[in-house]
Amino acid sequence: MFCFQCQETAKNQGCTIKGVCGKEGTTANLQDLLIYNLKGIGVIATKARAAGASVPNSTGLFVSQALFTTITNANFDDKALIQWIKKAQKVKKELFESVKDKIGSDLDASATWYSDNEDDFAAKAETVGILTTENEDVRSLRELLIIGIKGIAAYADHAAVLGIEKDEIYDFLFEALASTTEDLSVDDMVAKVLKAGEVGVTTMAALDEANTTTYGHPELTEVNIGVGSNPGILISGHDLKDMEELLKQTEGTGIDVYTHGEMLPANYYPAFKKYDHLKGNYGSSWWHQNDEFESFNGPILMTTNCVVPMKKKNTYLDRLFTTGVVSYPGAVHIDDREDGKAKDFSKIIECAKGCSAPVELETGKIVGGFAHNQVLALADKVVDAVKSGAIKRFIVMAGCDGRQKGRQYFTEVAEKLPKDTIILTAGCAKYRYNKLDLGDIGGIPRVLDAGQCNDCYSLAVIALKLKEVFELDDINDLPLSFDIGWYEQKAVIVLLALLHLGVKGIRLGPTLPAFISPTVLNVLVENFDIKPITEPDADIAAMMEGK
């Protein structure tokens, strides 16, 4: 195997024996083979569109879901991945048969490879992995693009679940996948990567529209972090539709529902506040789940990444449930919706009825709900605070959390920032500081949580609105600095989206991505002034000076 898509990759070079995330080499290779088949679909679809032939939205949606299942900490189940590969070959073949008269037969090998024999999969995977691209810079740009579109795919899938699909998103997924089979110039490959940022903005805007039209705009909310006395179900991941259906099906059952990790922001949506049995948030970010899932006592529903392999001491496998693109060996998988019906969560509900109430980890409340609509409602107050000097600077500390000790940096930055600064956050990075008592500025909390990782779009909307209010020509002239923590592929597309919006001077940590070659890094530094984090005190001083 060779995998370097996440921040914790071995030695910041690549996992070659077993993933730091816990996936086996066989799993990584099957994911490579799945991507190879998706490239073939991309080749056929791109040629078909160029020839004026139609490609069904179902093909784009499948590609989105298949890319999503290869994201870090989503699918550890080889049997499930084999089924994804078989489905990809079926989709590829059906698409080719429908357009072959228009696109001819001169196609990349990824578009013409088929096998019904599972024994062939392992051997083929050995020939299509990341390292088969020998040139380091070409490999870097191709993989930066693939990793970026994995993030696009995740957000596109969430939007599609709520009824919003866009042809331009699917077209770009096809185009990007196909481009990695072509011999392009460096300039053309860089252009594709930057276009991924543009499409990333489009996709996050689509998801924001889907979420807010379905569930209302997030609003300032105090979220309970204690527990009740009833049995509970813990829902983690990112899928709000799963959240809605679970709440409906547990209403009146005597079972409480708690959010975990990136599902915390579900508490901010008006549509979910009518459910009295939504008790609040349990625990913290994804990498603590081995202990937190154990102490929760009840069943856990993983709706998307991030699921973490269990340790030998853990006993919760019989109450771990997965759904959507997530699979874990031994866990019960909840089937997808059929014929417009809701998912059937009866198995997880029955499991909960026989469980004890959660063990209390902490008490109190945390505040969130500062997506763009809520912050813009406070715009006059914010602008006055900036003009009066009460707020000197905004620091965007969005992104991912992770296990590495170096991430303590983000806690230290939050603690050491001057009291006249505001932290804007989204994603699970917030768990490094959202339970600290950092106070407020004139009633404005010093940590404004916009929501999930995709809600970094809200932070961009806020920044663009502030640029307009202060009559500035450049977003970089705002009293705004970016100090981003990254872990997986959705954070990468957020980064590319920010670059598309013209943001410069972004600090990135705790390490720079292993998939960025020195040459490609130089391009990003020269054009966008991307820089690694250093020490909290030094970075704070530089940010306060606008550097």
Query: pLDDT tens digits, residue range 419-475?
Result: 999 999 999 999 999 999 999 999 999 999 999 998 998 999 999 999 999 999 999
Cβ–Cβ under 8 Å, residues 391 and 511: no
pLDDT digits (tens, 9 = 90+) for 9-45: 999 999 999 999 999 999 999 999 999 999 999 999 9
Nearest alpha-carbon partner for 3 in 76, 72, 86: 72
- Domain region containing 198: 10-214
What is the rounded average pLDDT of the residues 190-205? 97
Cα–Cα separations (whole angstroms), residue 346 to 59, 237, 241, 336, 357: 30, 19, 16, 14, 19
- Find the CATH number of the domain harbouring 102: 1.20.1270.20
Q: Is 254 left (phi over 0), alpha (psi -120 to 50) or beta?
A: left
Q: How far is CA 308 from CA 13, 290, 293, 521, in A?
A: 21, 7, 11, 30
Question: What is the DSSP pairing of strand 440-441 with strand 444-445?
Answer: antiparallel
Are residues 209 and 251 located together in one domain of the fold? no
* Cβ atoms of 224 and 278 closer than 8 Å: no
Quick one: 292 and 193 in the same domain?
no
In angstroms, rounded to a whole number, what is the distance separating the alpha carbons of residues 235 and 429?
A: 19
> What distance in Å separates the CA atoms of residue 485 and residue 536, rounded to the nearest whole number?
13
Total structural domains in the chain? 3
Q: Are 368 and 221 in contact (CB under 8 A)?
A: yes
Cα distance between residue 150 and residue 11, in whole Å: 23
Q: Which of 326, 353, 380 is the last residue of a domain?
A: 353
Taking 90 as the threshold, does the pLDDT of residue 115 lie above it?
yes
Whether the ω angle into residue 510 lies within 30 degrees of 0, i.e. cis, is yes
In a domain, 156, yes or no: yes
196 within domain boundaries: yes
Residue 400 is assigned to a structural domain of this protein: yes
375 shares a domain with 334? no
**Pair (304, 392) in one structural domain:** no
Sign (positive/negative) of CA torsion 146, 151, 157, 159? negative
Tell me what the mean pLDDT of segment 51-76 comes to: 97
pLDDT of residue 55: 96
Confidence band of 255 (pLDDT split at 50, 70, 90): very high
What digits encode the pLDDT tens for the residues 84-114?
999 999 999 999 999 999 998 899 999 999 9
For 225-331, where are the E strands, in sequence order? Answer: 232-236, 256-259, 278-281, 300-302, 320-323
What residues have CB less than 8 Å from 464, skipping those under 6 apart?
475, 501
> Given 165, 189, 214, which residue is the final one in a domain?
214
- Shared domain for 45 and 103, answered yes or no, is yes
- How much helix, strand and coil, in percent to the nearest 5, is found in the chain? 50, 10, 35
pLDDT of the residue at 7: 97
Tokens of 220: 């300032």
Calpha distance 529→505 (Å, rounded)? 5
Rounded-to-integer distance, Cα 540 and Cα 544, Å: 6
SS3 letters across 302-334: ECCCCCCCCCCCCCCHHHEEEECCCECCCCEEE
Residue that the structure tokens 């996440």 belong to = 6
Quick one: which H or E segment has residue 101? Answer: helix 78-103
CA distance 346 to 333: 12
Q: Give whole-number Cα distances, 368 to 104, 212, 241, 365, 401, in Å.
A: 54, 16, 20, 10, 17
Q: Is 42 helix (H, G, I), strand (E, B) or coil?
A: helix
Q: Is residue 191 part of a domain?
A: yes
**Domain holding 343: CATH number?**
3.40.50.2030
CA separation for the pair 380, 410 (Å, rounded) = 29
Instruction: Please check whether residue 199 is in contact with residue 152, taking contact to mean a CB–CB distance below 8 angstroms.
Output: yes
Residues 254 and 393 in one domain: no
Q: How far apart are CA 344 and CA 307, in angstroms?
A: 21
The predicted model gives 331-341 an average pLDDT of 93
Q: Report DSSP state, residue 381.
A: H
Q: Do 269 and 210 share a domain, yes or no? A: no
Residue that has been written with the tokens 């230290």 in this structure: 412
* In-domain check, residue 363: no
Look at residue 256 and tell me if it is in a domain: yes
The pLDDT confidence band at residue 339, using thresholds 50, 70 and 90, is confident
Domain co-membership, 345 together with 451: no
Looking at residue 368, the DSSP 8-state letter turns out to be E
Question: In the predicted model, what is the mean pLDDT of residues 341-361?
Answer: 98
Residue 340 has pLDDT above 90, yes or no: no
Residues 6+ apart with CB under 8 A from 77: 27, 327, 328, 329
Task: Identify whether residues 334 and 205 lie together within a single domain.
Answer: no
pLDDT at residue 145 in the model: 98
Residue where a domain stops, chosen among 184, 214, 244: 214
* Tokens 């999503």, residue located: 68
* Number of CB atoms found within 10 A of residue 245's CB: 17
- Tell whether 208 and 230 lie within a shared domain: no
Co-location of 39 and 168 in the same domain: yes
Q: What is the rounded CA–CA span in Å between residue 390 and residue 404?
A: 35
Query: In residues, how long is the chain?
Result: 547
**Is 537 among the domain residues?**
yes
State the amino acid at position 388 in one-letter form.
Answer: S
pLDDT band at 208 (very low <50, low <70, confident <90, very high): very high
* 28 and 104, same domain (yes or no): yes
Average pLDDT over the chain reads: 96
Asked if residue 4 is part of any domain, the answer here is: no
- Per-residue pLDDT at 271: 98
CA–CA dist 133, 130 (Å, integer):
6
For the chain, give the percent of residues with pLDDT over 90.
Answer: 97
Instruction: Give residue 70's pLDDT.
Output: 98
